[in-house]
Every structure is written in structure tokens, then in C-alpha cells.
Amino acid sequence: MGRLDGKVAVITGATSGIGLRTAEVFVAKGAKVVIAGRRIAEGEALAKALGANCIFRQTDVTVEEQMKALIALTLEKFGKVDCLFNNAGGPAQTGGIEGLEVDRFDAAMATLVRSVMLGMKHVAPHMKKQGSGSIINNGSIAGRLAGFSSSVVYGAAKAAVIHLTKCVAMELGESGIRVNSISPGAIATGIFGKALGLSTDAAEKTPAVMREVYKSAQPIPRAGLPDDIAHAAVFLASDESSFINGHDLVVDGAITGGRNWTQQQQGYVALRKAFDQGG
């Protein structure tokens, strides 16, 4: 028996990375899934691979009518919606505050924040009628602490997502709807390559490099994987998390926990040497 048997979920940004893997895991756990993304070929290929329990709809998550239509399609095909995973996102402009371009700032905020608001806005009435539902928003450790993204805009946007999640949780919780976020750490996906200016195709080939670069960044001696976020989403979508609301679930191998033990001990060794030289 699957942990998500009988559940119907909507996953945005599902044509690559975290969203793609989450769709695969949700279906494997028994859910029916409607996946959304901008890339038609990739979305249709994934839906075909996952079979009758998966439907793809091309969606620009920043456009209200398209998000409304995505939820409507889910209800038309499956009769209900138990979970919405607002996962869609993308990189934002890098560089310091003086060089930020207003148009690129607004575009990033639309992709990273407006999309989350639109998803919650249009799924809420249907979940209220059901008296239940789980909304999961994709945050980031960059939204909790400065210095964990190459983009100050991205960090600010994710901070907004995390707080918006808590605000809406206080409202919708009264209707039996749980609203939580997941804040990934260094997950090996193509988003890092995209942030640094690589084409989409080139960026999608970088996760292997990311796994090597980030294998020692946190106490857990490996980079994060899309599977880590997908399984966290399974938990929040399932009835096992029925009393969890307004929570930001950090999945980062403890990279935000503090200084790594080895790094700390090496610092003490250097300090002892400095004391000896000073004496």
C-alpha cells in the first residue's frame, strides 16, 4: 500500500530537477499527478513514462489564468486535489544591489513568489470544500540565511515564500488545509548552471559536477539530491503529517547548522600554533 494511495497532486516545474523526481516518486507512492511546466516535449515525455496516473499541462506559473486552468484541469480529470506542490522556480540576476535591473527583478519575483501566491489562491477554494488538503511551497535555505545564493534577489524571494507560507497557513489551517514549505540546501540540479548563465541544455548536464563540488559542504558527506526533496514532499503530502502546519522543513544535510566539525577543529589547531609562536 502506497503512502499516497488515493491522493491527487499538482506539481509545478515538473519537467526537470526536483519537480520531475517528485512526480516520479508521487506516482510510485500511489498518487495521481498533474504536472505543469513550460517545456512541452519534456512534460509530455514524463507523462507518457508515468502512465495513466499522470497528466501534463503546459503552464506559465506567473500567469493567473493558466494557473487557474491547471487547477480546473485537475478537478475535471481526477475530481479533487489533495496536494499542490508549488515547486516551479528559476535563477535570478546575480551581482550586487547597484547593478540590479528592475525588469529582471520583477521577472524573478513573478516566477518565485507570484506563482506561489497564484497556486494557493486558486487551489484554496476547492480544498476548503473538501475540508482538507496539503499545500507545499518550495523555499530555500537562501531564504533563511544570507549568503547561500549567488543572487540577493533569489534569497529575498525565497524569504518571501517562506513567510507567505506561514501567513497563509494561519488562515487555511482553520479550514483543515495544511500549508508548509521545504527549504532545500545544496541540491544537485541544473539551477546552479542556469544561474551562472548556461543554456538550459548545458545546465541540465551539470548535476554530476554539483555532486562533486558540494560533497563536503555539509556534515552529511554528499550533495543533496532531488530524491531528498521528493521524499520530504511525500511526507508533507501524506496523512502522516496531518498536524504539521506553517512549518519550513529544512533539508540541507545541516549546512545551515553551523561550522563543520572538522573545520572547527582545524581552526583550533591553527590557533594553538599561533599561541605557541606567540609564547
Q: Would you name the residues annotated as active-site residues?
A: 154
Write the DSSP string, the chain: --TTTT-EEEESSTTSHHHHHHHHHHHHTT-EEEEEES-HHHHHHHHHHHGGGEEEEE--TT-HHHHHHHHHHHHHHHS---EEEE--------B-GGG--HHHHHHHHIIIIIHHHHHHHHHHHHHHHHT-EEEEEE--GGGTSTTSSSBHHHHHHHHHHHHHHHHHHHHHGGGTEEEEEEEE-SB-STHHHHHTT--HHHHTT-HHHHHHHTTTSSSSSS-B-HHHHHHHHHHHHSGGGTT--S-EEEESTTTTSSS-HHHHHHHHHHHHHHHHHH-
